[in-house]
Amino acid sequence: MTESTNSEWRSAPPGEAVTPPGEAGSTLVGGPEEPVSPEPPTPPEQPGGKKKVVRLGDRLFQGVATGSGIFVVSIIAAIGLFLLVRAIPALHANEANFLLSGQWRTGDPENMAFGIVDLAWITVASSLVALIIAMPVAGGIALFLTQYAPKVLARPFAYVVDLLAAVPSVIYGLWGALVLAPVLKPVALWINGTLGWIPIFADGNVPANSGSNVFTAGIVLAVMILPIITGVAREVFERTPSAQIEGALALGATKWEVVRTTVWPFGRSGFVGGAMLGLGRALGETVALTVILSYTFEGPHYSIFDAGATFASRIALGSAEFNNHLTVGAYIAAGLVLFISTFAVNALARWIESGSGKGKK
């Protein structure tokens, strides 16, 4: 009885039934009337109505789950919309080309000229340096922990690596600027001196021995994203089916060959996914880079010995300027680009994962 009235309720709106929402409580009264009522409503009700028994718990859970999903998506959409709405007026007032200019003059709302090229370069360069260093190291740590290390050692070691993620980023910034940068000076000078003919290692817009450049920032970022990549990689490598590992061993594979033929092909996509997560973190890292990178008015020379600001550190540095709508809008426009690029990186990670997943089956 209740079931049939429920289903009538569900199909009522499309069928243009008489019962308005207010009568929800009085279904018992409305219910019996329905079957007696003339043909039109009944045919569409029967197929769906008799088959599906929807329990209250299921409906509740489905509602909560769907609601949470919608909530998250709408939050993200709202953030994107907010960024867009606030950025547009500033972009209209912009006298430079937002995508192609490298200058950042936002102090006077009447006369703003700003573009993202320099920010994009510093952001991407430091993140890529970080990724290039962190990926092999993280992969190596994960393989060591899952394949080589004795169990007694693996646990505490993994814990220590995870602990790296718990260090506040301002500490990383101080460490990078005060400890690492001086240590790296000779290395930077050597690279610059020997490989300087390659543009990426040429002189930057600050002296190579200053230490407050993309090179230092990238290394600090590498340490910061190490735990993320290692954690993901460890998990996927651990899940390599033991049947496959034994299969390789029984064929006379050495430890390294086992890794190459089974563990790596199995975990590769997950590892790349983890690296993309790390990249996402590196792109958005703010405080550490604000501390490390020195500020310069000279445009970048497209070398890893450049200094400057990333999207995030530019926004952080500019917070003192947030005194009118248009100036804030300029920073928000930069934030929008960062938002979109992290989004794109995540989408790319998914795409890579699904791509190599297809290769598996």
Partner 1 sequence: MAKRLDINDLNLYYNKFHAVQDVTLQVHARSVTAFIGPSGCGKSTVLRALNRMHEVIPGSRVEGSVLLDGENVYAPGVDPVQVRRTIGMVFQRANPFPTMSIRDNVVAGLKLAGVKDKKRLEEVTERSLRGANLWEEVKDRLNKPGGGLSGGQQQRLCIARAIAVQPDVLLMDEPCSALDPISTLAIEDLIAELKKDYTIVIVTHNMQQAARVSDQTAFFNLPEVGQPGQLVEIGETGKIFSNPSQKATEGYISGRFG
Question: Where along the sequence are the contacts to partner 1 (CB under 8 A)?
Answer: 150-151, 241, 243-244, 246-254, 257, 261-262, 265-266, 359-361
Question: Which residue number, 14 or 150, has a Cβ lying nearer to partner 1?
Answer: 150
Q: How far is the CB of 175 from partner 1 (least distance, A)?
A: 38
| Inter-axis angle of helices 2-15 and 27-36, nearest 10 | 70
**SS3 of the chain: helix, strand, coil, percent, to 5:** 75, 0, 20
Q: Residue 113 CB, nearest distance to partner 1 (Å)?
A: 52
**Distance (Å, rounded) from C-alpha 180 to C-alpha 158?**
24
| Shortest distance (Å) from residue 233 CB to partner 1 | 17
Distance, C-alpha 351 to centroid of its chain:
14
Q: Closer to partner 1 at the Cβ: 199 or 252?
A: 252
For residue 170, give the H/E element and its range. helix 169-174
Work out the widest C-alpha separation in the chain, in whole angstroms. Answer: 93
Buried b (16+ CB within 10 A) or exposed e, 227-251: bbbbbbbbebbeebeeeebeebeee
CB of 244: closest distance to partner 1 in angstroms?
Answer: 5
Residue with Cβ nearer partner 1 (242 or 324) = 242
**Least distance in Å: CB of 220 to partner 1?**
36
CB 96 within 8 A of CB 114: yes
Could you tell me the smallest distance in angstroms from the CB atom of residue 243 to partner 1? 4
Closest CA to 146 of 278, 274, 266, 259: 259
CB of 149 to partner 1, least distance (A): 12
By beta-carbon proximity to partner 1, the closer residue of 36 and 152 is 152
Minimum distance, C-beta of residue 247 to partner 1, in the bound complex (Å): 4
- With contact defined as beta carbons under 8 Å apart, do 134 and 225 qualify? yes
Minimal distance in Å, beta carbon 47 to partner 1? 38
Strands 104-105, 113-114: pairing is: antiparallel
Nearer to partner 1, 175 or 264 (CB): 264
> Which of 255/350 has CB closer to partner 1?
255
Of 256 and 322, the one with the shorter C-beta distance to partner 1 is 256
Number of other residues whose CB lies within 10 A of the CB of residue 141: 22
Q: How far is the CB of 242 from partner 1 (least distance, A)?
A: 9
Nearer Cβ to partner 1 (25/150): 150
**181-195 and 214-238 helices, crossing angle to 10°:** 100
26, 27, 32, 35: CA torsion to nearest 10: 140
Distance CA 121, CA 194 (A): 23
- Return the bridge partners of 22, or none: none
C-alpha–C-alpha distance, residues 308 and 123, integer Å: 9
Residue 358 in contact with residue 282, Cβ under 8 Å? no
Taking the least distance from each CB to partner 1, the nearer of 207 and 247 is 247
Beta carbon nearer to partner 1, 253 or 316: 253
